Amino acid sequence: MYSSARRNNAYESGSGRDGYFIIRVDSEACELVADWYTNSINEQGLACDPATGEVISCKSGAARLPTRVWRGRTAKALSVAILERDHGFQPLTHLEHANYLGRELQRAEFALATGVPYVQD
């Protein structure tokens, strides 16, 4: 099962100026997965690939590889891995982002435990 993100604004998507998370459930491995994608914001407020400076289009269909991937069996284990164990790299720069991530990881854990589909808010 794979989750998709509905991107309304930076708060709701768990994103910041430096990047965003895509949360998904790996039912076969019985794990939650948090993929971190970096981006930068240009003068017009559009998300850009930091390597090329090109605007990231939602319609292009081009696959991007995550900058970092964390895996865990529970929301707690995954959040500890992201926030406490990865010294020197901190993807969350605002408390709102940490709050959003915690809510989404709890929802994903529930989906994994019950077998219901998970779709990231």
Q: What is the gyration radius of the CA atoms in the chain, in angstroms?
A: 14
- Cβ-Cβ contacts under 8 Å for 58 (sequence gap 6 or more): 7
Question: Over its length of 121 residues, how does the chain's per-residue pLDDT go in tens digits?
Answer: 333 443 333 334 444 557 889 999 999 999 999 999 887 888 998 888 888 888 888 787 777 889 999 999 999 999 999 888 766 777 887 888 889 999 999 999 999 999 999 999 8
Report d(CA 100, CA 62) in Å as an integer: 26
Distance CA 77, CA 45 (A): 34
Six-digit token string for 99: 């709050």
CB 102 within 8 A of CB 79: yes
